[in-house]
Structure 1
Amino acid sequence: MSTKTTRFGQGNIDPRRWDRLKIILGEALEQNSSAARIALVERRCGEDTDLLEEAESLLVEAEALLTERTDSFEDCAQNAASTFWQEGPPRSGERVGAYVIVRELGRGGMGTVFLAERADGQFEKQVAIKILNRGADTAEILHRFRAERQILARLDHPNIARLLDAGTTNDGLPYFIMDYIVGAPVTRFAVAQTLSTRQRLELFLKICDAVEFAHRNLVVHRDIKPSNILANAEGEPKLLDFGIAKILAKDEDASQSTTKAQRHLTPICASPEQAKGDPITVATDIYSLGALLYEMLSNQKPHRFSTARPTREELALVVGEQVPPPPSAVASDAETARHLRGDLDAIVLLAMRKEPKMRYPTVADLAADIRRQLAREPVVARHPTLGYRAKCLVKRNGSRLVTSAAVVIVLAGVLFAFWSRSQNAGEAAAITRKSIAVLPFENLSSDPDNAYFAEAIQDEILARLSKIADLKVISRTSTQKYKSAPDNLREIAKQLGVGNVLEGSVQKSGDAVRVNVQLINALNDAHLWGDVYERKLTDIFAVESDIAKTIADTLQAKLTGAEKQLIAAQPTTDLTAYELYLKGRSLWSKRGGENLRQAIGFYEQAIARDPKYALAYAGLAEAYVLLPGYTATAPQDAYPTAKAAALKALQLDEKLAEAHTALGLLLCEGDLDMAGSISEFQRAIALNPNYATAHHWYGNGPLLALGRFEEAIAEGKRAIELDPLSPIINADLGKNLYNARRYDEAIAQLRKTLEIDPTFYYTHYNLGIALQLKGDVSAAIAEYTKAQQLSDDLVVQVLLAAAKAQSGDKDAAIQMLAEQEELSQHRHVRACCRTVLYLSLGNRDEAIRQLEQGIADHDSLTVSLIKVDPTLDPLRGDPRFQALVQKVVGAKHK
């Protein structure tokens, strides 16, 4: 076994740390719901991420144990909790076979593991002894225990923990004796030892050899995950825990299902067939190896869940339907991403294909492809184009190829041709077939005031499509620039990163509507599908649903049962309420204080007509939550109304991603509840993985506030994939980068954003911040000045005055403070503005007082930036400042 905390026991960790774990788990198991248990664990673990991971792992197994019993949940919880407060029956000093027990290492639902030493003193040897728990000896668990013992008996491999002996204790409990392994989970080992990508691959190949050996001996492990593979001090991995493994009889079909094991699966490593309850084969282990390799290479898990123990529905949705981004897309740094991009991305994603028959046929095939990649040979996971093979040839034999000037010239010409062809092929492959942009619909109505209706039809079709996890759907913000009839669909699709576009027109007259749609493959201009719907307005929801369903079918996108229900849903039966909602949504998308206030008016009218209109409540929440950011009202005046609207929306429809998104931001900024905020955002993304706003606000809200920069940046990049031309999303990625102290990347990103919209003042002032942090104050002042010419936002004026103060003009900051004091008599002035000014004047006491006021006001900039903003670095050594940071992120965070 190992030094890590395994099952329900202590391991070789610090006794004080183990005591803390027992207390936390004991308290958690006294809670009456999974969500409450998880929330308590997150609160109690604080910023200790290692402790949190250990506690969550134990909680998952505790809950799994509870589900196996027939007692009432309350009795089970009380009994399970007691195991954390007590060490269980003492066995220290007891003799088992040729060994004497020293102490307990770990305890699980099936057995307890003890450290033992040789009893006869003939030689020194430590072993791990697993003894079946008293009271757990049901028929099923006895079968599993004996099966694990039998499996280990037939597996003699240097990278599999060995079975040394077995028998029955004096009190009649079966046991088996194994190697005692001191090590760490392979993922932690790779990080701790700062292994290179090549070293990680070489380590993974040894794991593959062990799993392939098990398969050759007709054993499927079914629970391959980092904690079941330990690397010792010499870097040798050892595969452990065959507790839910299956022995295939020689005459048994390898695809035979074993349904009982479904209850014992671990979410982080479960395959789609395990998540859905489908037959389990060796392909299950291949998928789990792919998930393990994903984490070993990128330091990120391929799947995200809203809780440590997701529901069966969420597990089936996330693991069974959602395709994880390539490892390179979530890698922690640009250098790692460069190494992973291409071959390794392809290898990992092929191993993790949703369909078992589409994965590598055997573990040996997976290992062979990795060895080809290490040898710089073409890999099976990628298309064997001439250009790709040529690149591999040059990488492998470049020094031998370049032997004369003539050869160099010829080779250069050939490689250029190959490179061009491979670039085109790669570009086409990158733009997936299952991707679409819904271009603005043309308003053919005689009344120009009906333009909002055409926009709304486009928005509704897009909203329904975005709920399909198997489709990549571009947000409306990025498609709006193509207002006129597009004459170059291929170029548009390239800019948006999609393979297909939907064009359409809408004509509304009285109670009748005519919708014309055309689905086109933008890569070859092929017409895929088209139709004209002439219906009554009362049928408009059915029209939108039919269009979305037909597009999904045409693009061969897979729909789950839940997704079919979502795209067929009718949000309201009141058409007037629906039109009011559409007008509000159109204004909301334009942002700005006045537009948001008008949107609120339309949403309230829609709710008055249909008090059960969940989307209208969600719209109301999303409008109110944005108001303070445009200095249109104070947070304390807007947030309570926003929260009430979001909760009402969820009461009416718990599966509304928009409502979860609004509530996520409110919990972050209004309640300072980072754990709750993260949970809401993850739920929103699970419900609607194409909702760019959810990814955007998640990264820019709690993840940034907690200083989880890599995750925040990854969410920002995912939002850009879904809404590539959104100025605000692109600018906020730059903001996240400079808060991560990656100033050069931030400046480059913000300048790229200005190419999208050079008139967006927000980009100019964030570029100014990045430049000022880099030390170029004069360039920063130039950007602030441009922003001031484009907007009267007080934040811009403050930044300009503060920059002037830094360059020697203190009077600018003093004058701005006076103006703000006078202005605050008539309107809301954000405390963060005065914080910046006082800092520029060197008045730290007053700057801290303004931060206190900003937190009291729940100012979004203060809350989201106090832990991370480089501008506030001069205050970080002040205990008063540290207390404020703790107040924002210390009490309730994940």
Structure 2
Amino acid sequence: MTIAAGAKLGRYEIRSKIGAGGMGEVYLALDARLDRKVALKILPAELASNQDRMRRFTQEAKAAAALNHPNIAHIYEIGEHDGVNFIAMEFIDGHTLRELIHGKQTGLPKLLRYLQHVAEGLAKAHAAGIVHRDLKPDNIMVTREGHAKILDFGLAKLIEPQALPGRSGTSDSEVATAIIRQHSTPGAVLGTVGYMSPEQAQGLTTEIDQRSDIFSFGCLLYEAATGQRAFESESAIDTLHKIVHAPAPQVKDVNSSAPADLTRVVRRCLAKDPDERYQSIREAAIELRELRREVEGAQGLETTVPPGPFGSTAGSGTSSAATTSDAPLSTAPASSAEYFVASIKRHKLAAIIILAALLLSGVALAAYLQARNTEVAIDSIAVLPFANQNHDPETEYLSDGLTESIINSLSQLSNLRVIPSTSVTRYKAKEIEPLTAGKDLGVRAILTGRILQRGDNLTVSAALIDVRDNKQLWGEQYNRKVSDALAVQQEISREISERLRTKLSGEEQKQLKKRDTSNPEAYQFYLRGRYYWNKRTVENLRKAMEQFQQAADKDPNYALAYVGLADCYSLLEEYAGSPASETYPKAKAFAQRALQLDDS
């Protein structure tokens, strides 16, 4: 059934058809209530009419909709209008993994990057007890900014066969026929058969768990590395037979330039016995990260930053459209307090939570770019205010703190001119192209970024842009829990330092590894204090002093907490009319205490 443009399904107005497959047609639509683009997947009537399957699918889709992960396309609604059953999903502007492998002929380093995104999304789903069951290149969308998202969680429940009675005596041919008959569209299953796990191919639905997805993930890895399917034949039955009984050709035999470790990782993912595969997708993800580092180091390739995943939207098959909105940041000019703490300001935040981990990445990458044998070295940079995608003043201290931290940390690198925060605040309420900002500020590179905090989860994305040719030089996204920040900081710092230690001086390496505090709560209090301090009002200065004092109470050896107190007292005369004879000695005392703790 084809739906004409302009037709309405409930609050959704059809704009155009963007894809079709065995699971139904997909349309670009406008959600009139929320004024956003969505992808509407129309379920075939013969599938939707099976109440038992619809019940299982709805239950699974509801669980998937609650995942809320940047590498999983979000399900907004499962609805019905005038007898038409549909799923309203995130709409993504980009290409399927299949198009990137076979049509665009994307290089292996980028494909590994996208598949690492997939592994991260799967890890989130598996932790919630959700198995995809139908991983394939067509169910992976990659946005134009290079961010992969998994589509169609839960849809496999519509076509998954029930466990076959008397399974032990059933032939492969009979099982294959049984599976194919579950789908009403002739031949539609052929697009998925090559990615089934052996337990799926044999109809052992009660034995399917997360390790089935790991097998399918291995099929994706194999295809990315070789450009061929791991299991392929002229007929579905023959393909299923190969999946169950025949080993896939070795990656190295098909692509001699592929890393040896990739052959090993793929082989383990594709083990016939689930007990011999990786038992967790996180294990595979760790090895994949090492592989990416290896490949990128050999080819000198910079990675691609994922976009802010929080307003983007998802389509299917062909290109679609994503939108994100960035909230302006609140920063303010520097004060006279800097006179007391100039030497400490050069030190600033080297890291505690994930924000500092990102900071380290920016520092190391900037140093790397300086040392590269390019025609013109990158010797200057501006850090534009990071966007707070929560649009919540209560979390704005994170984006403000991150921006300030990166600016001060980058300033530690020799031969790198860093534009001060006072010169970039004019961009906080503007949507401006990095190229334009870079030329206005007279720098070679621009660093942009965004953050999102949801409960204990924190997502930070950043991108480094070369102003000369508007080329993205580096990008990364971090999805972590705030409570894991110290371990994350060490992990990312080690990863970046291993790549760049030959490019950094001994002192710069020391600064990268240095901690200002080992107490995450103290760091949070410090960031909040700096946020209030930047507002420059009497009330906010009092709040800032409270936050800085709590940071010092949590960690009495935290030099930056005393820097903050010195900053506050240095402003009280100007903003609160307090006598300088009272505020000056206190500001000086706190600054001296900071220097006693850390004179760098």
Question: Higher strand proportion, which one?
Answer: 2
Q: Which has the larger radius of gyration?
A: 1
Do the structures match in fold with TM over 0.5?
Answer: no
The two structures have a TM-score, normalised by structure 2, of 0.41
Question: Higher helix proportion, which one?
Answer: 1
The two structures have a TM-score, normalised by structure 1, of 0.28
